[in-house]
Structure 1
Amino acid sequence: MAAEQGPFLLLNTKDVVSRLHEWFPDAARELVVVTTRADIPPGEDAAYARRFRYLEVVDGIAGVPDDTLLGLARRFGVRRVLSLGEREVLRAAHLRAALGLPGQSLASATAYRDKHVMKSTLAAAGVEVAPMRKFRTADELVEFTWKTGYPVVVKELDSGASNGTVVLMDEQDLAGLPASPTGSPRLAEAWVEGDFYHVNGLMKGGEVVVGVPSRNLYSDWFSVAFDAPAMTGMLADGHPLSERLRDTARQVVAALPAAADLCAFHLELFHTADDRLVVCEIACRAGAALVVDVHEETLGVNFHGASLLGQAGRGEQVELRPSGERLGFVRFSPAKGTLRALPDTCPLPGTVSYRPRGEVGRVYDGLTGLGPHIAEMVFRLTGPDTEEELRRIEEWWDDNVVWEDRTNPVPDRWKTSRRKPADA
């Protein structure tokens, strides 16, 4: 095992390199960093390298062989392995197991990454999830659709942000489903129709330290499959669902194998028309898009920084300083078509910032994954009905953005309904 005073090995894919000294003032001695380009400007690698014990900038963490990472860990005698990205959770756990280092175990990391393990564990603990089946063959998928009916959601077991998610609406979609590119088993789930919610926060040792519930107008899949905005806003404490959502988060975190150290979590749930809360999934990392930014403003804590300090065994250094504000954000997705007009500013009350990023006159091909976007906005919420405030922003956007030859909008029956079917 590494000496107690050895450095930390960080596997990084987030824009935090320029902030690492806030959380690790002695980074020149303590941090061995393997990172994607993240927020390192081109040509600045050498300057940034002087800030750390060691810095290696790579195209992708997945492309770095395990032997290379193990070699770095042994070369510098690291005492812990740290990570922030979805794809690095299992990688870091495998490295810890190979090196005999403390931190999140392989069992815990697997439960937070493998959707079948995750939901099987939750179901056994009495937490409601959608009916599901792990399948490898077409016959197994057909059998599942016979039992549940359509729509059926097909996911990769370890996907994130709805990447690779396919919704089968009928037998024609089923027949056209391509085989898994890796030949690995996938997960089929029954469609859950309901409003979509997040709980973002920090957990430690199987308990929720802080959880902030938010309402999303659309699930990630709607943003990827159509051109729905990625829009979320924090709920008021007096909202009828706020405490129920927090309580469900506590049940979920307690049911899964615990991450011993402080780390962020991102929980997704559906609220159905018959008043059930159904868990979609949970991740042991911070939410994407502007989740970290708005929660840092409201809690006084950066989820990435808190997770790194927790994984380093320094969770006691994290101090919550809540402001009492409620914030939200939206990233407006490109449609399939030609962008003809884009608002320069947003006059709506509560606007904190609005940044147009699209190119008027450009032909867009919709969204591939959860970025890039053509505008983003942060806003302050003041009323008791978060959904009403979100829809006001969506209506303003729809009235002011102009597309020519638009081909892939959200279907009207979902766009106009107050209850949005959500899947993933």
Structure 2
Amino acid sequence: MNGRMFHVNGIAKSGQIIYAWPFAYLDTCLDFSQQGKAYGNSSIPRSDPLHDRLCKTTQRLLNILPKPSDSLVFHLELYENLDENRLPDDDFVLCEIAARAPGGSITHLIDLLSFQKDKSQSFARLDFRASVSLPISKLSEDNEEKVITELVIPRQPGKLMYIPRECPIHNLTYIPIADVDRPTIYEKFDVNGMNVACRFITHTKTMNEGQELVEKGFQWFESVCINIPFDEPCPATLIKELHRYFHRKIFL
């Protein structure tokens, strides 16, 4: 599939969606694990027509698929349909739908998007209440243009010597994850290991603005982290890093 990839996460009751959070992938988990690319997500604001199209497609799928009679927590993945001969309502192609909460960092993004003003609420709380058929409170959305974007930066093969603890870029939350107190060797993606170097999160009004900001963070990170080949001698590393330091790009 050549189109963009999206995921819709939500809760349905008696087959009808009561909450839905659509996101666009900025490269996927498969790209992260197989190609070493940064993986990310960008929420789709309710002011964007794409939000309504994704929610309507999700409801169409729920209408034709078997589902529980009470509450359902779901995670749906869709491809954009670029076929010129597609029918008017066939905007997307189904990848998968699962009767479960989204994985990875997505629930954290939903919390940042919808529950910042009410710390007593969270996606995990809604998930639990839905799973035991308890009433779910109505969510009040007061900002149709709020977008949250993240980018997760993978480790690269080599020995990670240094990552910064703070980022100078305005309106960008930087979360260092890799432990560099003792340099560690990384060969390739390992489902049982730590594969992440750091994470960037930002709140913006548009998806493009958010994507540009996390990409800027990625460029900054690549310019300052020190990841050396397995067998590179220390003097060569020192000379190379001094040269890079004096020719570095300034990020503000």
TM-score, reference length from structure 2: 0.73
Deviation of 1:210 after TM superposition, in Å, equals: 1.8
SS of aligned partner of 1:343: coil
Hey, what does 2:200 align to over in structure 1? 377
Hey, what does 2:118 align to over in structure 1? none
CA distance 1:395–1:278, shift in 2 (3 Å): farther
SS of aligned partner of 1:241: helix
Hey, what does 1:401 align to over in structure 2? 225
Deviation of 1:262 after TM superposition, in Å, equals: 2.7
Q: 1:152-167 alignment to 2 at 5 Å?
A: none
Hey, what does 2:128 align to over in structure 1? 308
2:66 to 225, 242, 257: 257
In 2, Cα distance between equivalents of 1:345 and 1:258: 46
In 2, Cα distance between equivalents of 1:267 and 1:317: 21
Deviation of 1:287 after TM superposition, in Å, equals: 1.2
Deviation of 1:384 after TM superposition, in Å, equals: 4.7
In 1, Cα distance between equivalents of 2:78 and 2:35: 20
2:114 to 299, 308, 318: 299
In 2, Cα distance between equivalents of 1:371 and 1:204: 37
CA distance 1:234–1:365, shift in 2 (3 Å): same
Deviation of 1:387 after TM superposition, in Å, equals: 4.0
Hey, what does 1:330 align to over in structure 2? 151
1:218 to 3, 14, 27: 27
Indicate the structure whose relative CO is greater, using CA pairs within 8 Å and at least 6 residues apart: 2
Hey, what does 1:235 align to over in structure 2? 44
Residues 262 and 307, structure 1, Cα contact 8 Å, conserved in 2: no
Aligned pairs, number: 214
What are structure 2's unaligned runs of at least 5 residues?
85-90, 116-120, 231-252
In 2, Cα distance between equivalents of 1:322 and 1:371: 38
The structure that has the greater radius of gyration is 1
Provide the aligned C-alpha RMSD in A: 2.6
In 1, Cα distance between equivalents of 2:192 and 2:78: 19
Deviation of 1:221 after TM superposition, in Å, equals: 0.8
In 1, Cα distance between equivalents of 2:66 and 2:95: 18
Q: Is the aligned partner of 1:281 residue 2:96? A: yes
How much identity, in percent, do the aligned residues show?
A: 19
CA distance 1:261–1:396, shift in 2 (3 Å): farther
What are structure 1's unaligned runs of at least 5 residues?
1-191, 407-424
Deviation of 1:295 after TM superposition, in Å, equals: 0.9
In 2, Cα distance between equivalents of 1:364 and 1:307: 36
In 1, Cα distance between equivalents of 2:82 and 2:172: 31
Hey, what does 1:81 align to over in structure 2? none
CA offset digits 1:341-377 (Å, max 9, x no partner): 3232223332245233332631112322396322223
Residues 14 and 68, structure 2, Cα contact 8 Å, conserved in 1: yes
CA distance 1:200–1:390, shift in 2 (3 Å): farther
Residues 164 and 176, structure 2, Cα contact 8 Å, conserved in 1: no
Q: Is the aligned partner of 1:366 residue 2:188? A: yes
Residues 202 and 214, structure 2, Cα contact 8 Å, conserved in 1: no
2:139 to 315, 320, 329: 320
Residues 72 and 130, structure 2, Cα contact 8 Å, conserved in 1: yes
CA distance 1:395–1:251, shift in 2 (3 Å): farther
Deviation of 1:232 after TM superposition, in Å, equals: 0.8
Residues 217 and 390, structure 1, Cα contact 8 Å, conserved in 2: no
Deviation of 1:274 after TM superposition, in Å, equals: 4.6
User: Structure 1 stretch 348-357 or stretch 208-217: which is displaced more?
Assistant: 348-357
Deviation of 1:281 after TM superposition, in Å, equals: 0.9
TM-score, reference length from structure 1: 0.45
Deviation of 1:266 after TM superposition, in Å, equals: 1.5
Hey, what does 1:60 align to over in structure 2? none
Deviation of 1:388 after TM superposition, in Å, equals: 3.7
CA distance 1:348–1:247, shift in 2 (3 Å): farther
User: Structure 1 stretch 254-263 or stretch 219-228: which is displaced more?
Assistant: 254-263
Deviation of 1:321 after TM superposition, in Å, equals: 3.6
CA offset digits 1:12-62 (Å, max 9, x no partner): xxxxxxxxxxxxxxxxxxxxxxxxxxxxxxxxxxxxxxxxxxxxxxxxxxx
In 2, Cα distance between equivalents of 1:277 and 1:322: 26
CA distance 1:308–1:384, shift in 2 (3 Å): closer
